[in-house]
Structure 1
Amino acid sequence: MSKPPRTRFRSLDGILLLDKPRGLSSNQALQRVRHLFRARKAGHTGSLDPLATGLLPVCFGEATKIAGGLLGARKAYDAVARLGIVTDTDDADGQPLRERPVPALSIDTIDAALLTLTGRIRQRPPIYSALKRGGEPLYAKARRGEVVEVEEREIDVHAFELQSAADLLDAGQPLLRLRVECGSGTYVRSLIRDLGEILGCGAHVAELRRLWVDPFREPRLWTIEALQALAERGERGLDACLLPVESGMASWPEVEVDAAQAARLSHGQGVAGGFHPQGAVAIFDPGGRALGLGEVDGEGRLRPQRLFSWACAQPDSPAVQVP
């Protein structure tokens, strides 16, 4: 049997808003779309568990240079909590550890419990997580049966709200449908685990879907199936699914530089000019094209940090650009 032809990768810059399916890890989903697009360089921003679906921003080429900013962005999720059962992974993919009866609960009781988990709070991440210790993910240690101690850390939960308790209150399944809006580093699995303990019965995540990630508040998502269908018709239609790199840069304040200043930055030199605000910024030319990321010091001097290839004195090989 002949082997399938090897993928011939190409330079490609842009951002894909992928609708990750249930059952794939974020890296598995990334590799599928990377091969569909034949992208030489790709990375995702903010892992989703295999159980979870929804928005997974995938950065191709030069867009990987801004991926760190998207990792720290505000996010929103829809979640279904299954009350009465605690699992080792805090979701439905794990092994049950303990089962308890679900007490009679009112909407007011549930809302009060949700309120205690809202705001600036301390959270203990799941032991089955991608957090690393000693260069190794915690889930790898947990799967070997090692005792894993996870320290609490501060997180921001902007909203944790009940969408529906009809399943529970109508004597059906003990499910709560919830909406979560949170900051970087928050584990929805841990939120629902802690909610279950406050309610006195335990809980785990039965379903989870990421709705949006800043700055993509109303995303047009692409499924892998839709992308495969487009790929069969040619790469022009596939490339049209990508957003330009600039679309992911709303998290940084913008500064504009002229051609002479851009030339200095491209050689790694700082530029004086009373730039503001102080801190990390997105650098643009007068035409609105992003040149990369920089840093403004206390004296208003702009220094380059991560410039895109087209802003550098010796650019990389030509890449497919998203209009």
Structure 2
Amino acid sequence: MFFYKKRNIHGLLLLDKPKGISSNNALQKVKTIFHAKKAGYVGTLDPLATGMLPICFGESTKFSHYLMQSNKRYHVIAKLGEKTSTFDSDGIVVQKRPILFNSVQLKLSINEFIGVIDQIPSMYSAIKYKGLPLYKYARQGLNIERKIRKIIIYNIYSIYQKKNLIEFKILCSKGTYIRTLVDDLGEKLGCGAHVIFLRRLQVSSYLHDQLITLSSLYKILNANYINKINFFKKIDKLLMPIDSPVSFLPQIHLANQQSYNFLLGQIISLNYNIKNGLVRVLDEEKKFLGLGEIKKETLLIPYRLVSTYANSVIHY
């Protein structure tokens, strides 16, 4: 890759993470391609998993928390009859059992997972204990006590079983570990199970057809290797706006003087017919200024502001 200084860029990229690399590895590759100073991903995907990995650049990272709290949708294929150490095919088989359940038992077992359920995360997860992810303890043969989590399974659908494989799609809340769910299902069916395929299809309202692959980014790079300005222009067009993670919030527009005062942290008096709560604040030119909180239905209080340079930075 051509040498170029790191850039202040802002926005969100929906990366289609490939199989076989960690989420952090994928992030570093994208960060290098974009020559970005600051970037972070939302929602860890295992090396085995593929699919939607939102990457926030610059000021957009201030609002990534809202994506962390959102629902996710997955496509899952599990192998029945085998329980593994990691609850997926990257682990070693620790127990084999015959598959004896019928279609009625399968449906009843799956239905038991719909709704609010308790889940204990796997030791092979990125949850941190004393500053280290649990999987590092697991690799040393250590078992750390994990807290039970309340999660929500909204739906498990498109269920298909053939011989020792079961395939389904699932819509779930934040904090859901699909590997743990599959392992728990395998225990309920009495045969054991582990994940062999996992693809994240959706995060919040982002759709699967919005994904950008690493290979497509490298293809643009190779086609514009000499002309770096043209390259940056093309890949920057792939970024969604800074406020994309909070696009579900209502928006209000401020006049120039109000915008200036808002960015100084001052409370603004409004006549908008908006109930109390968070709103996206834009100026007259539709530039995103940050989040504000409406109180008493007439006051706008600065809540999370965007740096003044973020909407006007020159990338090239």
Give the TM-score normalised by structure 1: 0.87
Cα deviation, 1:10-68, whole Å, max 9, x if unaligned, reads: 11112111110001111100110111111111111111111000011111111111111
Q: Which residue of 2 aligns with 1:293?
A: 291
Q: Determine if contact 1:13/1:320 at 8 Å carries over to the other structure.
A: no
Q: Which residue of 2 aligns with 1:122?
A: 118
Cα distance in 2 for partners of 1:287, 1:240 equals 19
Question: Alpha carbons of 1:202 and 1:211: their partners in 2 closer, same or farther (altered >3 Å)?
Answer: same
State yes or no: 1:150 paired with 2:146.
Answer: yes
Question: Alpha carbons of 1:192 and 1:277: their partners in 2 closer, same or farther (altered >3 Å)?
Answer: farther
Listed as ranges, the matches of 1:1-323 within 5 Å are 7-106=4-103, 108-165=104-161, 167-168=162-163, 174-232=164-222, 233=224, 234-273=231-270, 276-297=274-295, 301-310=299-308, 315=309, 319-320=313-314
Structure 2: gaps (5+ residues): 225-230
Q: Determine if contact 2:82/2:93 at 8 Å carries over to the other structure.
A: yes
Offset, 1:238: 1.8
Cα distance in 2 for partners of 1:143, 1:37 equals 34
Residue 200 of structure 1 aligns to which amino acid in structure 2? G
Cα distance in 1 for partners of 2:234, 2:144 equals 47
Cα distance in 2 for partners of 1:201, 1:210 equals 26
Residue 186 of structure 2 aligns to which amino acid in structure 1? G
Cα distance in 1 for partners of 2:111, 2:252 equals 39
Q: Which residue of 2 aligns with 1:171?
A: none
Higher mean C-alpha deviation, range 72-81 or range 289-298 = 289-298
1:209 alignment partner, SS class: strand
Offset, 1:316: 6.3
Q: Determine if contact 1:12/1:319 at 8 Å carries over to the other structure.
A: yes
Q: Determine if contact 1:215/1:250 at 8 Å carries over to the other structure.
A: no
1:201 alignment partner, SS class: coil
Offset, 1:182: 0.9
Higher mean C-alpha deviation, range 110-119 or range 4-13 = 4-13
Offset, 1:235: 2.3
- CA RMSD in angstroms, aligned pairs only: 2.2
Cα distance in 2 for partners of 1:114, 1:143 equals 31
Higher mean C-alpha deviation, range 203-212 or range 242-251 = 242-251
Q: Which residue of 1 aligns with 2:228?
A: none
Residue 235 of structure 2 aligns to which amino acid in structure 1? L
Give the TM-score normalised by structure 2: 0.89
Cα distance in 1 for partners of 2:60, 2:310 equals 14
